[in-house]
Every structure is written in structure tokens, then in C-alpha cells.
A and B are shown apart, each in its own frame.
Chain A
Amino acid sequence: MVVKCPICQAEVIWEGNPNRPFCSERCRLIDLGAWTEGRYRIPGEEPKQESDRDNGEEEEPS
């Protein structure tokens, strides 16, 4: 299986690769560091009560 290194996007062979899915120890560490620094965030949805008001309105009272 060939996957993309999550950090540098290089193509990586999965089988027999001790750093899978990364291309290198370095990229793996960068990733681990990002987890431990809390840098990985998934952008959440806008809260529901806000979204109705949000349509096309520049001003927001809150």
C-alpha cells in the first residue's frame, strides 16, 4: 500500500516501513509534537442559534 506522508506529502510505502505512515522519523516527530502542542484542531460548525441570524448580516449584537 502506498500512502501520503501526513506531514510532507511524499509517497510512502506502508509495508516494512517503521515510520509508517510517515516518510521519516523526522516527520513522525513533527506530527507527534503537533499533537502534544494541541495544534491539531478540527474547525467546528457554527453554533445553531447563531446561524439563522448570520445570513447576510454584517452586524452581530453579541
Chain B
Amino acid sequence: MTPGKSPSQTDYKADKIKVLEGLEAVRKRPGMYVGDTGERGLHHLVYEVVDNSIDEALVGHCDQIEVTVHIDNSVTVVDNGRGIPVDLHPTEKKSAAEVVLTKLHAGGKFDKASYKVSGGLHGVGLSVVNALAESLEVEIKRDGKVYQQRYKRGIPQAPLKEVGRSKERGTRITFRPDPQVFETLEFSFDILSQRLRELAFLNKGVRITIEDERTQKKHEFVYKGGIVSFVEHLNRAKTPIHSRVVYLEGEREGIDIEIALQWNDGYTESVFSFANNINTIEGGTHLIGFKSALTRTVNSYAVASGQLKKDEENLQGEDVREGLTAVISVKVPEPQFEGQTKTRLGNSEVKGIVEALVNDKLGSYLAEHPADAKKIVMKGVEAARVREATRKAKDLARRKGALDSGSLPGKLADCQERDPALSELYIVEGDSAGGSAKQGRDRRNQAILPLKGKILNVEKARFDKMLSSQEIRLMISALGTGVKEDYDASKLRYHTIIIMTDADVDGSHIRTLLLTFFYRQMPDLVEKGHLFIAQPPLYKVKRGKQERYLKDENSLEDYLIEIGTENVRVRPTANGHGLAGQPLQTFIKKVLRWEKLMGMIARKRKSRSVIECLLMEEDFSEETLKDEAALKRFQSQIASYVNLISPEEAPISCGLEEDAEHGCFKLVCSTRSNGTGITTVINRDFLASPEFKELKRLFSEFTGLGYPPYSVENGEAEHKLRSLTGLLEYILEGGKKGQYIQRYKGLGEMNPEQLWETTMNPETRVLLQVRVEDAVEADRIFSTLMGDEVEPRREFIQEYALTVRNLDI
């Protein structure tokens, strides 16, 4: 409140009230004055009376307004202002109060000397309410006296009369809306509360209460923070991105400006503008000035701080206002309201004044609060990015139209079949593979879409894989479903969609990109099981004129064992029939498994010989680890076994250590491997590990054949082999003899016939159906690969590169 600015109380007398006739007009056309005769107009009556009190508050003479809704829907508004003047009006020969209440366009507000600004609707305020009220009673406390007057439909029942004495001051008006005028008489507590709260925000420090005697509901609104509190209130359920509400304030050319703003992490813009306490729903010059200055100020800060490069496109207004909550309140001496509902401020001078204030004060704020400023700019930059992305996405969705029936992309080799349920689409990586696939396919129901994963040389040693927008478009139009809100599953042109990529890392990257795209933008296809991954073979083996394709490493090994055991019989040298044929194959596969497990153990830097020795000790169990004497015996056994079997691992030292956590011991053996020391720990965890358990199981099966050395007969000669490893090598070598083994590095290495035979022929091919879980996993891989943190990504790529060789997703 700034009472100093206002004219003194003694100046506010009857001669200040100018008269304009025509109250009867109000009853004839109430809509012109209060909007309508429905709910809106009804509530407007209360606002008019309250605005009259607010006007007193604006000049610092009132800080308390009480609104009461009575049980008969009459309303009382009491304020502690100066009280409406009661002295005789010089030209009207009536009390000033009566003039105010009966003459249209009469009010202190039309005389700029009394009120600097006014919130009442163009000064028609109280007289309009009086005209539209069935009854109205006014009580004025002023200069130690109390005055009263009653009206019916705007007509005074008697002149204003002094009725008593009081030390208080203020105005009290009780009125009941006229049922002859209004379609509804029922006041809404919520509607009234909302506007009164708004007024309390806009007029800081003024206490406004509302009490509803019909329901005993009560609210009290008082905000010391004014519109800063308003913004906090509006943001109460949101998460602000900066803690302080920015408050800009100033006065220029008699116009008071207050602006409060704060950004939250949401995306909606909530900007409210007020002129002389009137909610300017239609905006106006104050809002225009604010918006343009805001955009300019944030942009120039963004450039100055380096967050926006000079060559980058400026942030647009909508970018800057994303997530913004703001309240602009101006107080203008002679407001011009325009528009359909008279809620657009028209005073043209206001625009420049608001602009200048925001440029100046917001600019300083940003410069003085760089942390807040950074977040605000970032928010705008992100919004700009989203706007651009959305535009492109919409563009894409729109273009789809042109690609409907008849005009499919030229690169697509479509099939003859028209029934989607019977049609297949192969999405093939690479032009050459695409060419082979086009030649090799069954054109009756197989369509081919070659896609080229684009390789970008980002840095000198980094080549990124991506799908160009062109490619994404091709795919969407070939599938026929469209995207976004236009997505229509019933338009899918192929119910079997097969991704066919090379079996190398690049191929797996393209596959990951495709799977991620489908998962994100067409999850429906995955859910319905339309998506598949082709399984092209990894190997081709040729023996004489026979050719075979093998899909992976395991199949190759099985094949080599099958060939390598042909006409071979293995038996221990001592005695027995030994093994041949199918049982021998099974046995060799187990040896291979054993070798792989041992390989894993060696990679974990444990001594293979020590583990072998442990496996030979059949009774060794977790219990043994508690038996110190048994362990000591075993210790020396290990030493002699290692010295005998692989002397290169010596010197060996073997010790017992306490395993306090498990109440037992652990064996710690140090040996050498390729010149460096390695430590093999045999403890409870190791004995319980799956690989040890499997090794133990396999080992017990091997004893069925007896101990080495083994004698191997292949019909022509007999060999002696010292170990299982030697036996395995012999068999695998035998399998490879006379074979030409080719590892396919890409689909392009296969000719059309081979591609058809191995990967596309429905009779022989193997397809992997993509389930939602697989797609989730692809998305996870993709997100990790895309991630910003370099180190986890690098590790991940290495790990991932190993696993993708198995062609599993």
C-alpha cells in the first residue's frame, strides 16, 4: 500500500462525484452492464461491490473486505475504507452516496484526482448493482457517524439518514439480486472464492474473507507476497526449476507494473494478465509487451552466456514460455477495455512501458542469478528442440499420405500376394544383399526392402551407424500403417516382417536400431508377433560335392564331431570294447563341453591342473574343507600331481587359510602360468559354483571309458592318445580333413540361390520371433549404446560385441 500517493480523505466529497444519467437503461439491458443474466452476471454483482472496496484499498485506505453470502442468497460486503461520501452533491441536491448508487457512470473514479486508478467496471459499479437488486441497503461509517439508506430496484425508499455513532469507518452493502432480472439466484461459493483469492493476490496485504451462511464454509485470503504468492500458488502442485519467483516491479508514466514469474518442469504455459485487477482473459497490450520482451531478453542472455550459438536459430516465444507460470498486473489510470468480453487491454502506450521494464529488470535478474538463468535457458533450448522434432514427426506423418496405395517406394520389391496374412517383408541390410534377396526370393509372397545403414565418420576413429530419415520413411510407407495418431494396424501390408542383417557387429547394430524403432514407434507389431529375425548361416562346409550350411559355432562343432567319429573306435589301452558311433559322438561332445569349461577356468586365472587334481579326488566336498588333516594330505597330492602332469607350472606352493566366514578352511595354491604367478583358491564358493558341479558330473562320466592313454582305431591305423584333450583334438582334426569351411562375414557373400536355400525358404529357414521382452532388451542395449557416459558405454560395447557373434539378441 502506498497511501502517500493518494489524495487525502477530506478531498473525497460530494463535489467529486460527476453525474451521468440513465439507470433505467440498466434494467432494460442488464447484459450490457454485467455480461448476462445467468450465473456470470449474477456473480458480477458481487465483484462490482468488492471492486468498490478494492478501489479504497488501492489508494491505501482499506485493508479488510468481508463478503458474506446469506441463506436467502443475499450478499453483504463490508470494508474498512473511508466510507462513501455522505455530504450533499452540489448539482444533484442529494447525498453523494445516493448519487453513487443511483446514477449511471457516477463515481469517484471518473475524477482522476480522487482515484489514481480504478478497478470497477468503468465506474458503473454500485449503481448497476443497485438497479439490478431487488433490495439494497447501504450503511456508511464516516467521521464518527453512521448513515443508512434502503433501496428497492434502485429506487431510494428514503434519503440517506444518520442513525448513530461509531468510531469505526467503512462501507457495508447488503443486496439481494432481483429475481425479475436473473435466471439464477444461487451464488457459487467456489466461483466467488476464486475471484476473491485472485483479488487478494493482486492487492498484497488486503485481507479478504468469504463466509457462506448456507453451508458454514469460510475462507480467508491474505497474501503478503502479492502476485509472487500468486505464482507460488499456481505452481504449488508443480516442480519449479528455480526456487525463487522472479519479481519485476516499476512505475512509468503513472502506470504501475508488477510481474512475477517462475518456470516449472512441465510443458504448459500459464500466463495470467490483469489490468486494474480485471482478469484480461483476452490479453492486450500489457501481455504483448511482456511476451515480446521476455523472448528477446532470454534469447540475448542465451547468446551472451554461450548457451545458444550465434548461428543457431533463436528460441521462439513459445519455447521460452514452456513451463512458465507468470502473473502480469498493471494499474492504468484510464484503462481501455476492448474485445468481446471487454477483457482486452487496449492502451497502446502500455506495451512499450512493459517492454522496457522487462528488458531492463529481467535482464539484470538473469545476469545476477546465473544458475537460475542457465536452467531457464536450457528449458527453452529443450523446448525448441522438441518443437523442431515434433514438426518433423508431423511432416513425416503427413507425407505418408502420398505413399498410400499405388505409389510405394521404388526400392521396395513388392510381392504379388495381396493378402497381408500371407505376405512377408524382408528388411535387408545392404544393397548387394538386397539384390541377392530380390533374385532369390519367392516373388509370389515375399517382398524385399533393402535398407542401407548409414555410416558416419564422426571422429577420426569412430564410425557411427544410423538409419537415415529417408530409410525410416521408406520403411513406414512400405509397411503401410503410418505413424503417430494416423497409425492404423489394419493397414499393415505384411503380417510377417523379417529383419535380415549380417552376422557381424555392424549388422547387429542395424538390427538393434530397427528393433528399437519398432519397439518404440510400432510396439503393436511386436505384440502381435509380426516381427522376426532371419537366421542366416554363419558357416558353409564343403566336402567333395556336398555342401552344408551351419547356423553357428555349435552347429559347426557338432558337424565336425559327426564327421570326425565316422569309422572310429576309441578304447582304453588296457581292455574293453570302447566306444564308437553315436555313443562316441555323445562322449566327444561332453569332452568338448569339458574343454570349454576348463577354458573358462583358465580365463579366470586358475590352474587347470589343480582343478583336475581336485576332480580326481571324488570324495572331496564342502565337508572336507573342515577337515584339516585331510586337507594337508590333499595339499601334497596336488603338488605331486602338478609336478608330474605339467612341470612348467612349478614351483607350486599350497597353503591352508582360515575361512572364518564359513567356519572352515580354504586351499590357496600358487602356480605359474606363462611365466607369471597365478593363485587358485579352492573354497566353499568354488565348490558350490555351477561350473565346478558340471565339471564334476562330466568327469564321473568320463571314467566310464577308463583312464588314458586311449587307443584310437580308424580302420587304417591305431593311435595312442595321452589325454582327453588329445582325443578331442584328434577327432576334430579328423572332421576337418578334406573339408572346405567358409565363415560368412555378410549376406552379400551368398549368391541368390544360397540365400534362398538357407535363410528365405519357408521349408528350411529358421526364423526367430521377436517377443516384447526381446524388444525391451534391444531398447536397453540401444539406450546404453546411445548413452552420454563414455566409459560404461565402451565396456558395454566390448561385452556386447562378444555376445552378438552368437546372433542372439
Contacts and interface: CB of A to CB of B under 8 A. Distances in A.
Interface string B462-475: 11111111001100
A36 B455 contact: no
A54 B461 CA distance: 9
B98 interface: no
Interface in A1-54: 1, 3, 6, 14, 20-22, 26, 28-38, 40-47, 50, 54
Nearest to A50: B461
| Interface band, chain A | 20 to 34
Given A6-B783, A29-B393, A32-B483, A43 B469 contact: no
Interface stretch (B43-51, B516-524, B697-705, B734-742): B516-524
Contacts of B776: 3, 21
Contact of A44 (B393, B394, B455): B455
Contacts of B467: 35, 38, 40
Interface stretch (B73-81, B410-418, B440-448, B504-512): B504-512
A42 B776 CA distance: 17
Interface string B578-620: 0000000000000000000000000000000000000000000
A14 B461 CA distance: 39
Nearest to A47: B463
Contacts of A58: none
Nearest to A54: B461
Nearest to B779: A6
A33 B785 contact: no
A45 B466 contact: no
Interface stretch (B124-132, B384-392, B627-635): B384-392
B390 A43 contact: no
A33 B520 CA distance: 12
A43 B505 contact: no
B648 to A, nearest CB: 29
Contacts of A62: 460
B797 A45 contact: yes
A35 B779 contact: no
Secondary structure class of chain B's binding surface, majority of residues: helix
Contacts of B472: 35-36
A62 B782 CA distance: 31
B469 A35 contact: yes
Nearest to B267: A26
Given A40-B467, A60-B460, A30 B386 contact: yes
Contact of A42 (B392, B395, B464, B772): B464
B513 interface: yes
A42 B469 contact: no
B550 interface: no
A35 B461 contact: no
A40 B389 CA distance: 13
Nearest to B787: A43
Contacts, number: 113
B484 interface: yes
A59 to B, nearest CB: 12
B162 to A, nearest CB: 66
Interface in B756-809: 772, 776, 779, 782-783, 785-786, 793, 797, 801
B462 A43 contact: yes
A60 B461 CA distance: 10
Nearest to B801: A45
Nearest to B790: A43
A21 B519 contact: yes
B461 A20 contact: no
Contacts of B786: 40-42
Contacts of A3: 776
Contacts of B469: 35-38
B484 to A, nearest CB: 7
Contact of B392 (A36, A40, A47): A36
A62 B461 CA distance: 11
A32 B506 CA distance: 23
B520 A21 contact: yes
A4 to B, nearest CB: 8
Contact of A32 (B388, B509, B521, B783): B521
A34 to B, nearest CB: 6
Contact of A31 (B460, B506, B520): B520
B479 interface: no
Contact of A21 (B465, B473, B779): B779
A39 B723 CA distance: 56
B396 interface: yes
Given A32-B484, A38-B466, A41-B466, A47 B461 contact: yes
A38 B467 CA distance: 7
Contacts of A26: 267, 386
B412 to A, nearest CB: 19
A44 B389 contact: no
B519 A35 contact: no
Residue picked from B464, B520, B797, most chain A C-beta under 10 Å:
B520
A14 B775 CA distance: 13
B523 A37 contact: no
Given A40-B513, A40-B786, A45-B801, A33 B464 contact: no
Interface string B392-426: 11111000000000000000000000000000000
Contacts of A34: 389
Nearest to A40: B466
A31 B483 CA distance: 12
A35 B287 CA distance: 37
Contact of A33 (B392, B516, B797): B392
Contacts of B783: 6
A37 B392 contact: yes
Contacts of B785: 42-43
B506 A44 contact: yes
Contacts of B237: none
A42 B519 contact: no
B147 to A, nearest CB: 61
B389 A33 contact: yes
B793 A20 contact: no
Contacts of B513: 40, 42
Contacts of A50: 461
B521 A44 contact: no
Contacts of B520: 6, 21-22, 28, 31
Residue picked from A14, A36, A40, most chain B C-beta under 10 Å:
A36
B371 interface: no
B637 to A, nearest CB: 44
A29 B460 contact: no
Residue picked from B393, B395, B512, most chain A C-beta under 10 Å:
B393
Nearest to A43: B464
B456 interface: yes
5 contacts: A21-B519, A40-B782, A41-B458, A42-B464, A46-B461
Give the 8 A-B residue pairs with the shortest CB-CB distance, closest first: A33-B389, A41-B464, A44-B463, A32-B393, A41-B466, A33-B393, A36-B469, A42-B509
Interface of B: 267, 386, 388-396, 454-456, 458, 460-469, 472-473, 483-484, 505-506, 509, 512-513, 516-517, 519-521, 523, 772, 776, 779, 782-783, 785-786, 793, 797, 801
Given A29-B389, A29-B393, 17 more contacts: A1-B772, A22-B520, A28-B484, A28-B520, A30-B389, A32-B396, A33-B392, A33-B393, A35-B467, A35-B469, A36-B473, A40-B516, A41-B458, A42-B786, A43-B793, A45-B463, A47-B461
